[in-house]
């Protein structure tokens, strides 16, 4: 108590502190550029979210004044809204944030940072989602890296936003009935009747990967001293290639439909990235990856869509989940020890996906479950078995996060080291312990219950 009294006596009463004392502390946003403090407010326009299942939610608009169709999904992420909105896996989707306030730290410049030229600061060069729904949009922002507000950013990329709605009710609805087609209507459109069922646009029927992928091949870190790694771009997040480049790799990014088998012997490893939509839309790529697996003996790593493509190539089935997993707090249980991953440990991961690999009675020969989701028992990873002689990892989550936890970031180090090692020496990507006992998928489900 004495210490507390002394502490209190050392702190001046707020009524004795002048306004100038607070002014001298300054804002997180640099005052040296006064334009950053001149907040541009959105016009006062009504907006509405109409769902194909018949529900409508009314509020106010921000960002673009153009109405848009999309697939309505929710994310439980609390931070990093700029990373989520620039993630190509959200292409064609109306993104509902469960966090009550979005936009309070503004939006930073997307110019590449020193040391990783050619890679944007955020997860792609633009906003990828079709629309944004938030409970409370922050019209004023404060952050030392911010250059514009969320409203200004959305307006610049023609992305409409809806605020002033109960996102808890929307999230509960989507969780119970599943991801739902929707329309974000702005202005006069908001007061008009909701679209008819046949008018809603379903992005899953399109090849979204073709829309998100690069059109031409390009190379990052050409003077690097590390291994040469080929990347098949299905809608690649910037932090994937950034994580490879930071570990010294020379990275060549190819379009989604490029025939890697024609140049595979020029590379030390293959990386399959994340991407939007249904993996069955790119079965031709899965068939080519199957050929690569059968004929090539170098390391392969797939994330998210890349993981699903590996699964299809291995003979597993991909299915559409009810509402998917989107957030930064998904727990996964490791079922095998490989590299930095230890069997029996739970890792907290960042995820963004609607589709998953089905857990079958028995895994295909040469494969074993690598991770399983602790919440819904969905397959979170696959691994080639030691008997197969292959070095292949597939994970449904994002080890590179951006945003989210970094529990599994060292998988990138393991992969790059494995590509550098070539055929010689001990392999970091071959499982040295499979906790579920062979390929028994039921044992994987039972492991979650333990």
- For residue 98, the model assigns a pLDDT of 96
The active-site residue out of 189, 398, 418, 439 is 398
What pLDDT, on a 0 to 100 scale, did the predictor assign at position 19? Answer: 37
Residue 251, token pair as written in the block: 């990275």
Q: What is the pTM of this model?
A: 0.89
What pLDDT is stored for residue 431 in this prediction? 78
Catalytic residue among 148, 304, 353, 439: 304
Could you tell me which of 354, 350, 352 has the C-alpha nearest to residue 324?
354
Per-residue pLDDT of the chain (450 residues; tens, 9 = 90+): 334 333 333 333 333 433 333 233 334 444 444 445 556 778 889 999 999 999 999 999 999 999 999 999 999 999 999 999 999 999 999 999 999 999 999 999 999 988 888 999 999 999 999 999 999 999 899 999 999 999 999 999 999 999 999 999 999 999 999 999 999 999 999 999 999 999 999 999 999 999 999 999 999 999 999 999 999 999 999 999 999 999 999 999 999 999 999 999 999 999 999 999 999 999 999 999 999 999 999 999 999 999 999 999 999 999 999 999 999 999 999 999 999 999 999 999 999 999 999 988 788 999 999 999 999 999 999 999 999 999 999 999 999 999 999 999 999 999 999 999 975 555 778 877 666 644 455 566 666 666
CB 47 within 8 A of CB 59: yes
* pLDDT at position 41: 79
Q: Is 398 part of the annotated catalytic residue set?
A: yes
Does residue 304 carry a catalytic annotation? yes
The reply to whether 328 belongs to the active site is no
pLDDT of residue 121: 97
Task: Quote the pLDDT of residue 434.
Answer: 67
- Please give the pLDDT value at position 378: 93
Active-site residue among 400, 418, 419, 439?
400
Structure tokens at 239: 């932090």
């Amino acid at each position: 108590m004495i210490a507390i009294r002394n502490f209190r006596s050392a702190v001046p009463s707020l009524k004795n502190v002048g306004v100038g004392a607070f002014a001298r502390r300054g804002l997180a946003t640099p005052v040296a550029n006064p334009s950053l403090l001149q907040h541009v407010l959105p016009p006062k326009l009504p907006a509405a979210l109409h769902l194909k299942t018949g529900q409508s939610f009314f509020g106010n608009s921000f960002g673009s004044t153009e109405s848009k169709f999309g697939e309505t999904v929710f994310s439980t992420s609390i931070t990093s809204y700029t990373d989520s909105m620039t993630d190509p896996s959200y292409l064609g989707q109306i993104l509902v944030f469960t966090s009550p306030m979005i936009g309070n730290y503004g939006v930073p410049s997307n110019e590449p940072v020193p040391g990783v030229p050619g890679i944007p600061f955020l997860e792609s060069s633009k906003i990828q989602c079709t629309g944004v729904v938030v409970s409370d949009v922050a019209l004023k922002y404060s952050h030392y890296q911010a250059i514009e507000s969320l409203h200004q950013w959305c307006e610049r990329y023609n992305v409409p936003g809806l605020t002033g709605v109960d996102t808890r009710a929307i999230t509960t609805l989507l969780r119970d009935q599943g991801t739902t087609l929707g329309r974000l209507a702005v202005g006069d459109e908001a007061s008009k009747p909701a679209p008819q069922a046949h008018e809603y646009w379903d992005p899953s029927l399109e090849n979204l990967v073709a829309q998100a992928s690069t059109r031409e091949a390009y190379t990052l870190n050409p003077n690097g001293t590390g291994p040469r790694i080929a990347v098949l771009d299905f809608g690649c997040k910037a932090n994937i290639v950034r994580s490879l480049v930071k570990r010294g790799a020379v990275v060549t990014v190819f379009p989604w439909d490029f025939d890697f088998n024609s140049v595979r012997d020029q590379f030390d490893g293959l990386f399959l990235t994340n991407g939007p939509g249904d993996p069955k839309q790119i079965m031709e790529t899965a068939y080519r990856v199957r050929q690569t697996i059968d004929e090539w003996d170098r390391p392969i790593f797939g994330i998210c869509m890349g993981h699903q493509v590996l699964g299809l190539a291995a003979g597993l089935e991909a299915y559409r989940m009810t509402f998917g997993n989107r957030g930064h707090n998904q727990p996964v249980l490791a079922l095998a020890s490989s590299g930095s991953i230890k069997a029996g440990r739970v890792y907290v991961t960042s995820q963004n996906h609607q589709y998953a690999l089905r857990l079958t009675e028995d895994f295909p020969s040469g494969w074993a479950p690598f991770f399983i989701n602790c919440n819904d028992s969905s397959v979170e990873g696959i691994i080639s078995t030691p008997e197969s002689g292959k070095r292949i990892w597939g994970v449904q989550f994002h080890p590179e996060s951006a945003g989210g936890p970094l529990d599994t970031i060292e998988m990138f180090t393991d992969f790059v080291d494995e590509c550098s090692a070539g055929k010689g020496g001990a392999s970091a990507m071959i499982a040295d312990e499979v906790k579920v006992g062979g390929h028994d998928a039921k044992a994987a489900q039972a492991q979650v219950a333990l």
